Amino acid sequence: MKERLIELVEKKYLKADVTKEMFKAGDTIAVYYKVIEGNKERIQVFEGIVIRVSGTGIAKNFTVRKVSSGIGVERIIPLNSPSIEKIEVKKVGKVRRSRLYYLRNLSGKAARIKEIRNK
């Protein structure tokens, strides 16, 4: 009963266009994030590898990692955030883990992930 009530309350905040299995850990994605600076609004693209997907329902979030100027940058993004304009899957990676924290210690070619190519 309690779970059903929570589900009903969360339903209006869930994004309709986000599918359940849109991306997973190991995929390279581009997140189009809406940034508001004063009275101006622009779209900023954050492209990187998904190293973690966690949570359920409205609390679902994912962590994206990229290396910018030799420095690793990670961003934890709530999946149902109104600031997300769209999420685009660039490459589908083939990994055997759901948490790719080991990528933090790797650099260069060692940090590559095998790609699944669609035919």
pLDDT in tens, 9-41: 777 777 766 655 589 999 999 999 999 999 999
| Cα–Cα distance, 52 to 58 (Å, whole number) | 16
All structural domains of the chain with their residue ranges: 4-106
DSSP for residue 7 = H
| Cα–Cα distance, 78 to 15 (Å, whole number) | 11
Element (H, E) at 68: strand 61-68
DSSP for residue 79 = T
Q: Which residues sit opposite 40 in a β-bridge?
A: 37
Give me the CATH code for the 4-106 domain, please: 2.30.30.790
Q: What is the pLDDT of residues 57-109, one digit of tens each?
A: 888 899 999 999 989 999 999 988 888 988 999 999 999 999 999 999 988 88
| Cα–Cα distance, 69 to 75 (Å, whole number) | 16
